[in-house]
Amino acid sequence: MHDPHQAFFDLLAAEWDLMFTAEDLELLSHIVDQLDVQPGHDVVDLGCGTGILFDMMRRKVGSDGSVTGVDFSLQMVLKAHRNFPFSNVTVVDGDVLALPFCDDSFDLGVAFAAFPHFSDKQLAVDEVHRVLKDGAKFYIIHLTSSKELSAIHHRIGGVVANDEIPPEDGLIRIFHNSKFTDVTIADHPGLYLATAITAK
């Protein structure tokens, strides 16, 4: 299926890393410290872009674990490859709506600053559930509240103008439809963090 986000993000890839300030990176690193990432974990990063999470995650999972990024913007994927040529990091050019991985492949999933852009959120969450192992956690993270994020996307306009995080009851329904449990959502200025646990 053609998704105009692909071309949109391809155009942004070359300059993408310049968007993050030192403060963003520090904040992100504090958030990642609070996630349940364990040595040996196989982590999947959905809509990974240029791999902003890779270094933080790969240090936590160590040489017995792995970080796999997936993104359908080839330019983002190529940049991520160049940025993080580490043996425990893999980047795949693929669609989150049809993940190119076997069932029960990963111990943890994360979507940082990406979930609102997935064109079919139920299908995306179904796919994440499929590739995660029983008991694995899935995190949706943003460095803004859902309201702040919608305003930013509206200001940018174009293909992202209406990209938003579903309202809390809608997201909980999506998670439950996919058989995730224990959904928690923190949504306040400067942070959005949704957590759900895979049940099989």
Ligand X SMILES: C[S@@+](CC[C@H](N)C(=O)[O-])C[C@H]1O[C@@H](n2cnc3c(N)ncnc32)[C@H](O)[C@@H]1O
Query: By the criterion CB under 6 A, which residues form the site for ligand X?
Result: 5, 9, 47-50, 52, 70-73, 76, 95-97, 112-114, 117-118
Nearer to ligand X, 121 or 137 (CB): 121
CB of 53 to ligand X, least distance (A): 7
H/E stretch holding 184 reads strand 180-188
CB of 2 to ligand X, least distance (A): 11
Task: Give the CB-side neighbour count of residue 160, counting CA atoms within 13 A.
Answer: 20
Rg (CA), the chain: 16
Nearer to ligand X, 18 or 169 (CB): 18
Nearer to ligand X, 33 or 64 (CB): 33
Nearer to ligand X, 143 or 199 (CB): 143
Residues with Cβ within 8 Å of residue 73, at least 6 apart in sequence: 5, 6, 9, 10, 13, 49
CB of 141 to ligand X, least distance (A): 9
Residue nearest to ligand X (CB): 49
